[in-house]
């Protein structure tokens, strides 16, 4: 059975959503995939929060005053992250091996240095998923 992690990432202050997306998807992830090699997950899916550029600041969020999310339920402040990443590993052992690899001091330092270019690391959140049930249209 696969092992799935959700990661919530937020861009560094002063970085636009487009700059964040371009660097994360276009530079960081290809570099990261090469760095970790066989420890890369089976699937790495990036789902970006849809944001609208505006000159108005309604004060509902400090992180995204001019780029609010298109929120249907909840508040702007609850959607201050920029991307939800789904990481799917072969199993828990594969995930654990990957974590141990990236926590090696030299590897961790390389990753941190690159993430400082675009990511607010203090806002990163991750959680393991339990059972996944998928339904499709009839």
Instruction: Please list the pLDDT of the chain residue by residue as tens digits (138 residues).
Output: 899 999 999 999 989 999 999 999 999 999 999 999 999 999 999 999 998 887 766 656 667 777 888 889 998 888 889 999 999 999 999 999 999 999 999 999 999 999 999 999 999 999 999 998 999 999
Give pLDDT, residue 87: 98
pLDDT given at position 60? 60
Nearest C-alpha neighbor of 87 from the set 40, 23, 134, 34: 40
Residue with tokens 């590897």: 107
Q: Please answer whether residues 5 and 128 qualify as being in contact, where contact means their C-beta atoms are separated by less than 8 angstroms.
A: yes
CATH class, 3-128 region? alpha beta
DSSP H helical segments within the chain, as ranges? 17-23, 29-36, 92-102, 105-115
This prediction's pTM: 0.90
pLDDT of residue 57: 62
Q: How many CB atoms lie within 10 A of CB 102?
A: 14
Please tell me the distance from the alpha carbon of residue 83 to that of residue 49, in angstroms, as a whole number. 6
Contact predicate 47/117, CB 8 Å: no
Q: What is the pLDDT of residue 58?
A: 60
Q: What local confidence, expressed as pLDDT, does residue 66 receive?
A: 75
């Amino acid at each position: 059975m696969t092992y799935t992690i959700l990661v919530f990432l937020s861009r560094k202050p002063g970085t636009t959503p487009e700059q964040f997306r371009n660097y994360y998807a276009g530079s960081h992830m290809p570099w990261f995939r090469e760095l970790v090699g066989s420890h890369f997950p089976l699937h790495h899916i990036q789902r970006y929060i849809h944001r609208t550029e505006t000159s108005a600041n309604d004060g509902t969020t400090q992180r995204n005053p001019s780029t609010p999310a298109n929120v249907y339920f909840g508040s702007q402040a609850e959607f201050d992250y920029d991307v939800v990443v789904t990481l799917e590993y072969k199993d828990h052992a594969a995930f654990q091996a990957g974590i141990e690899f990236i926590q090696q001091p030299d590897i961790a330092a390389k990753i941190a240095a690159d993430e400082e270019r675009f990511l607010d690391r203090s806002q990163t959140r991750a959680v393991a998923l339990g059972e996944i049930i998928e339904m499709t249209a009839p």
